[in-house]
Amino acid sequence: MFKKLRNNNKSESNQFNNLDLHNIPEHVAIIMDGNGRWAKQRKMPRIKGHYEGMQTIKKVTREASDIGIKYLTLYAFSTENWSRPESEVNYIMNLPVNFLKTFLPELIEKNVKVETIGFQKGLPTSTIEAIDHAKEKTKNNTGLRLIFAINYGGRAEIVQSFKTIVDELQHKGLSSDDINEDLINQHLMTKNYPDPELLIRTSGEQRISNFLIWQVSYSEFIFNEKLWPDFDGDELKNCLKIYQSRQRRFGGLSEE
Ligand code: FPP
């Protein structure tokens, strides 16, 4: 799709909101926030907001894949979300099952590879099985990598990585001098992905909430006002447009 449109500049710019297709972030991470408020505004139970949030994931995945984003990481469930009422937790845990039942054929057709980060311990067996099935079915896909952060927390991830690093250093007879950024990167759950250039959080909240706290050191942050169920492909393109208007300096000076 991306290639085909490149041969036709007119439809390319129309379809993609005049985005500069040479400056698309490789990795976009999203904190999908506002499901509960969306439902509350409509006097509906919170789980209805999560259901609609799942539908938004489909829209955003389609758009991300069409635009040529390579990695899309979605914060689906944090290590802190277990403190929600049991019925809500159970509902959210079943969403991957529902999502993959209805959407896996399209993911396969779109060459999307399903992956996860987070702690498997504590997840219901049905959730693990649905995810494992999707991973297996999409393992050879070469398009968008759709990464669900489930039972994920940035601090817990860093703690786990430090434990492994200390064990390995002791085992190999190495010292603290051998600890560097690369070594830490290689022990994070995100070791196979580049850092996100762009982090989006919906619903107007301006917090990081323990999401990819190491990896977003130099990411651009966009706090979008829409509640997640109201977010869609066009809104993603709006965010990319804002991203393209930013200057990334990585602690250096601008060239102007
Ligand atoms: C935040 O909204 C949303 C969540 C904690 C859950 C997000 C999960 C999904 C959208 C579905 C996941 C589906 C798959 C396929 C993995 P909130 O409940 O904190 O909203 P609020 O701040 O308005 O209360």
Residue 233 belongs to some domain of the structure:
yes
CATH of the domain at 125: 3.40.1180.10
Q: What is the three-class DSSP state of 105?
A: helix
- Which residues 6+ apart lie within 8 Å of 53 measured at CB? 32, 35, 38, 228, 229
Give the count of beta carbons closer than 10 Å to the beta carbon of residue 251: 6
The minimum-distance atom of ligand 1 relative to the CA of 99 is 15
Query: Does ligand 1 have an atom closer than 6 angstroms to the CB of 53?
Result: yes
Residue 72 belongs to some domain of the structure:
yes
Query: Does ligand 1 have an atom closer than 6 angstroms to the CB of 149?
Result: no
- Long-range CB pairs of 158-165, under 8 A, 24+ apart, other chains included: 158/184, 158/188, 158/213, 158/214, 161/187, 161/188, 162/187
Q: Which domain holds residue 92?
A: 27-152+189-245
Residue 133 belongs to some domain of the structure:
yes
Give the closest residue (by CA) to ligand 1 atom 15: 96
- Which residues 6+ apart lie within 8 Å of 93 measured at CB? 77, 123, 124, 127
Residue 91 belongs to some domain of the structure:
yes
Per annotation, catalytic residue among 81, 151, 195, 224: 81
Which residues does the chain have with pLDDT short of 50?
1-11
What is the per-residue pLDDT for 237? Answer: 97
Look at the alpha carbons of 202, 208, 209, 210 in this order and tell me if their dihedral is positive or negative. Answer: positive
Q: CA of 132: how far to CAs of 100, 104, 137, 152, in Å?
A: 11, 12, 9, 17
Residue 232 belongs to some domain of the structure:
yes
What is the per-residue pLDDT for 17? Answer: 73
Tokens read off for 128? 């693990």
What is the per-residue pLDDT for 134? Answer: 98
Residue 21 belongs to some domain of the structure:
no
Tokens read off for 242? 């804002």
Residue from 40, 42, 50, 203 whose mutation best tests the ligand 1 pocket (most atoms within 8 A of CB): 50
What is the per-residue pLDDT for 165? Answer: 96
Per annotation, catalytic residue among 14, 20, 33, 178: 33
Query: Does ligand 1 have an atom closer than 6 angstroms to the CB of 47?
Result: no
- Give the number of domains in the chain: 1
What is the per-residue pLDDT for 6? Answer: 42
Q: What is the DSSP letter of 118?
A: S
Residue 164 belongs to some domain of the structure:
no
Residue 254 belongs to some domain of the structure:
no
State which amino acid sits at residue 53: G
